[in-house]
Structure 1
């Protein structure tokens, strides 16, 4: 199967940023993945896998910045203790906190173009391997009523616990997923529902924003009836990658990659500031 073939890499380079704490800015994560895309795509790095956790952050999509009363929604999120940023890719609002683990798989397209669905399927297969022992059916389909809905929402019993996105730069493909590991999935969804209620109000919009039903979202701890930690899930992640590669090593950005990271980060900060200037 092509999707499993993508997991079979000669080498996996691991960058673990899952325990950097509240001072780790979320915008840096998008610059990290852009840097790794360029590095992997150019052949200067093997396939890379990155893990990251950000505290009390709401990541908006570009479409969210067009909400008619955006400032009301952002004011509410700030009062609830959340920083608000705008990512440089598609999708809609998602919640990041200490119970949400983000994973990125960065592949080179040197062996031929990686179809967008193939990237999504690869991440889905990885997650199924990580939680196979529980014997639960993990589905990939849109969960209407979730936040940031998409055709590859991952769910168990109709309740979404993860969403997948992709980014492509200079011959590299980053497939990214957020996993609600612990905490209340419905409370996260209620927060986003309130944001949309305030930011959209009663005004008609061309774009159809999601009508969020909090009961359709849950964390893996809730769905599997076991208290999972970020460390537990990280261990599962690394164990699965080891099944698919004989060579796996831990790394940070190289001296050659740091200037590229700084350039991507400056660009992302500028775009974020511009996107939020409309408030």
Structure 2
């Protein structure tokens, strides 16, 4: 199922809770659920980040810049995104989630690169020296700036594959990450932080979101649908409990 676009009541907190909730409980008979959305400004720290001595300073600097700090369920290092970004959370409930772990990185990196190529970008798969939240299957433009990063969570219930695509306003992303990475003690080359708009003026997050929904609809072969009332109620309960 491709979820209808919906801003969740709890904003970034609900965004972080939803993927693991769908992974653990599912939704109706859907075994594969994809959410493609444009988030509010968010600083997504990993649990490893939260154990670093400079974490509190980094979280405070992100808050001061208008980015809500959260702890995301996936691994990696701090990533930031906003309304000029598109986030994809892809949940599959499956009995053997570890099978094909690297293949999924390869598969979705190619899918995302193909979407970006459709906008006229020279999209390349591979890590840039000094990039934020580095990864073998990051996507950059012409070997210069990173614009896509992915992370994966595996549980006994299945897998959650999350991707961030930076579409516009790379300046605010660069500013918040530069300050937070310095606070937390990570190396970072700010020149590697970019967005699609830097190379493709006029492109919007709405356009990229629509192209991604089309690509995932073809890849997954699923229809559109809303979040269930039960899941929304569960999110409200988790948020109230401070989970």
Q: Same fold (TM over 0.5)?
A: yes
Matches within 5 A, 1:12-27: 13-17=1-5, 20=7, 24-27=10-13
> Structure 2 residue aligned with 1:218, among 194, 198, 214?
194
Query: Do structure 1's residue 37 and structure 2's residue 12 form an aligned pair?
Result: no
Check conservation: 1:143, 1:160, Cα contact below 8 A. yes
Q: How far apart are the structure 1 equivalents of 2:95 and 2:73? A: 24
Inter-CA distance 187–112: structure 2 relative to 1 (3 Å threshold)? closer
> Structure 1 residue aligned with 2:55, among 61, 64, 70?
70
Check conservation: 1:147, 1:189, Cα contact below 8 A. no
Alpha-carbon displacement from aligned partner over 1:102-131 (angstroms, at most 9, x marks no partner): 012222325875321122122212213323
Check conservation: 2:97, 2:155, Cα contact below 8 A. no
Please state how far the C-alpha of 1:262 moved relative to its aligned partner. Answer: 5.2
Check conservation: 2:75, 2:153, Cα contact below 8 A. no
Query: Do structure 1's residue 166 and structure 2's residue 142 form an aligned pair?
Result: no
Unpaired runs of 5+ in structure 2? none
Unpaired runs of 5+ in structure 1? 1-12, 201-208, 271-279
Q: How far apart are the structure 2 equivalents of 1:91 and 1:167? A: 10
> Over alpha carbons, which structure has the higher Rg?
1
Please state how far the C-alpha of 1:77 moved relative to its aligned partner. Answer: 2.5
Alpha-carbon displacement from aligned partner over 1:243-264 (angstroms, at most 9, x marks no partner): 3455412221253x45654566
Check conservation: 2:2, 2:222, Cα contact below 8 A. no
Structure 1 equivalent of residue 32 of structure 2? 47
Aligned residues: 242
Structure 1 equivalent of residue 64 of structure 2? 79
Inter-CA distance 98–176: structure 2 relative to 1 (3 Å threshold)? same
CA RMSD of aligned residues (A): 2.8
Please state how far the C-alpha of 1:187 moved relative to its aligned partner. Answer: 4.3
SS at match of 1:131: helix
Check conservation: 2:37, 2:209, Cα contact below 8 A. no
> Structure 1 residue aligned with 2:213, among 207, 230, 238?
238
Please state how far the C-alpha of 1:238 moved relative to its aligned partner. Answer: 2.2
Q: How far apart are the structure 2 equivalents of 1:55 and 1:26? A: 6
Inter-CA distance 103–122: structure 2 relative to 1 (3 Å threshold)? same
Alpha-carbon displacement from aligned partner over 1:47-83 (angstroms, at most 9, x marks no partner): 2110233322211112222332333333332322222
Check conservation: 2:90, 2:161, Cα contact below 8 A. yes
User: Which 10-residue stretch deviates more, 58-67 or 97-106?
Assistant: 58-67
Matches within 5 A, 1:91-106: 91-106=76-91
Q: TM-score if structure 1 supplies the norm length?
A: 0.75
Please state how far the C-alpha of 1:215 moved relative to its aligned partner. Answer: 1.3
Structure 2 equivalent of residue 205 of structure 1? none
Q: TM-score if structure 2 supplies the norm length?
A: 0.84
Q: How far apart are the structure 1 equivalents of 2:16 and 2:154? A: 12
